[in-house]
Chain A
Amino acid sequence: KQEVTQIPAALSVPEGENLVLNCSFTDSAIYNLQWFRQDPGKGLTSLLLIQSSQREQTSGRLNASLDKSSGRSTLYIAASQPGDSATYLCAAKNFISNFGNEKLTFGTGTRLTIIP
């Protein structure tokens, strides 16, 4: 059974700093790994998706890496801004049947606060 862990649960950093969020997973037979952002009381917004054959993906100030062998992924945020304050969740995708039925296993998230 896949288990996904995100540590720390909360993180506060001053505006302008670069930061790294961590995600670990127990079953390396993933199809992809995805990072989401969730604002308070809202749904999830996909930030980056890394296929199992890829090592990293970049979008603007965000860079996500994937190391399947060690069961780790990181989300790097450059030059942080107050608008980056949110909860960040990672999710590992596994297939659970031969028909393409998928399952995302989520971490519990890291609540990020950027201090102006």
Chain B
Amino acid sequence: DVKVTQSSRYLVKRTGEKVFLECVQDMDHENMFWYRQDPGLGLRLIYFSYDVKMKEKGDIPEGYSVSREKKERFSLILESASTNQTSMYLCASSLWTGGGAMIGASDTQYFGPGTRLTVL
């Protein structure tokens, strides 16, 4: 079974602190994703990465950065945490599908358990 782990289930930080959220997957997936989930807004994509050292902005990248130095690990960084970054953060991974014309078997995203971050 695919396993996606996140470094912390609960985290409390103060405004202005630098925050690191770590995600590790054990299935050699190329794609990794960071989402945040807020009531009434659903899951929103922050950043994704389709290869080591590669990253792409999602819908809400402002205030965040990411790092992918190894294939299995994708880190989300809050350079200076703010109260509006209090949220549930979810990491996911998936197998690269090889392009839109090369459709393979089912290619779900596998999610970690989430990190509930509170910024005071």
Contacts and interface: CB of A to CB of B under 8 A. Distances in A.
Contacts of A107: 42
B98 A102 contact: no
A88 interface: no
A89 B41 CA distance: 12
Contacts of A49: 106-108
Interface of A is mostly: strand
A42 B43 CA distance: 13
A49 B97 CA distance: 15
A44 B96 contact: no
B96 A34 contact: no
Contact of A106 (B31, B42, B116): B42
Contacts, number: 66
Interface stretch (A13-21, A67-75, A76-84, A92-100): A92-100
Interface string A40-65: 01111110010100000000000000
Interface residues of A, number: 26
B42 A108 contact: yes
A23 B96 CA distance: 26
A26 to B, nearest CB: 15
Interface of A: 31-32, 34, 36, 41-46, 49, 51, 89, 91, 95, 98-104, 106-109
5 contacts: A46-B109, A51-B103, A89-B43, A106-B43, A107-B42
